[in-house]
Amino acid sequence: MAKTRKVIITCAPTGAIHTPSMSPYLPVTPDEIANAALAAAREGAAILHLHARHPEDGRPTQDPAVFERFLPRIKEQTDAVINLTTGGSPHMTVAERLKPAHHFQPEVASLNMGSMNFGLYPMLDRFTELKHDWERQHLANSRDLVFKNTFADVEYILTSCGANGTRFEFECYDISHLYNLAHFVDRGLAKAPFFVQSVFGLLGGIGAHPEDLAHMKRTADRLFGSDYVWSILGAGRNQIPLATMGVAQGSNARVGLEDSLWIGPGKLAESSAAQVKKIRQVIEGLSLEIATPQEARAMLELKGGDNVAF
């Protein structure tokens, strides 16, 4: 009898895309971030993708001192894989974005695979009551923003973080990003298995139509064959529908309030854990099983939670 496929759930409980005024449930302080991450792990998230925020007003920060206030607690209370951002915010320099990954040497770090327009400004039409001045500026400035991830940037992240044994969540927002990854594979700078996070529905990247998902899969299959582990990130209302389509075709899934504030039409998710629970129900409804953290480590060939610097 064939073994039941294991599906890795990644959860991103906070991040730079949404701002605190958009949802009262978005975690901001270190305690809130730790609680949100731990709740997601209890619901079945094998990987926790983490950003940090200034506790006073929720601005994104890459200051390791802020990460230090929640990483040890999360590690102590769960064996979930910790995945730290190197994206930070599109408004940050690459050097600033890399501070947490260099300092803490996590098992996994995110890696955006190409420069792109990163349009968050349409959110201003939907969220008119913003508490902090920086929030409106953060969104409005994305009208004229290029999220910089040049070949030199990507090479530096691959080599500097890779030297610490950190592997990568390759965030691919468009077809060209898959080809960029293939370029670094050909140069021997990216090693299989490649954890490819296909990102859909961000303005400036690929759309969220089922045909877009199919095109991403066809291209990744052709470029990487059996050497990649596929995952789906659908932004906003696309989160659960696209993850469902992807899982049915062999993918893993990423959810969390970083990517979507919603749990259903017009209904805010009260936690990232609720989104984990919802996609878990989908996965189990497809007669598949949830991967444990240790199973995820084996699938992605990670160095293990004892080999990080926190």
What residue segments make up the domains of the chain, in order of their start?
6-307
Strands annotated E in 107-260: 108-112, 116-117, 146-147, 167-172, 194-200, 228-234, 252-255
User: pLDDT by residue (tens digit) across 107-148?
Assistant: 999 999 999 999 999 999 999 899 999 999 999 999 999 999
* 2, pLDDT greater than 90: no
User: pLDDT by residue (tens digit) across 80-115?
Assistant: 999 999 999 999 999 999 999 999 999 999 999 999
Return the H-helix or E-strand segment holding 222: helix 210-224
User: pLDDT by residue (tens digit) across 152-190?
Assistant: 999 999 999 999 999 999 999 999 999 999 999 999 999
pTM, 2 dp: 0.97
The phi and psi torsions of 92 (rounded to 5 degrees) equal: -95, 160
Q: What pLDDT band is residue 16 in, cutting at 50, 70 and 90?
A: confident
* 293, pLDDT greater than 70: yes
Q: What pLDDT band is residue 1 in, cutting at 50, 70 and 90?
A: low
d(CA 8, CA 4): 13
Nearest alpha carbon to residue 7 among 273, 229, 237: 229
pLDDT of residue 251: 98
The phi and psi torsions of 251 (rounded to 5 degrees) equal: -90, 170
pLDDT > 90: percent of the chain: 98
d(CA 246, CA 212): 11
Return the CATH fold of 6-307. Answer: TIM Barrel (3.20.20)
What DSSP state is assigned to residue 129? -
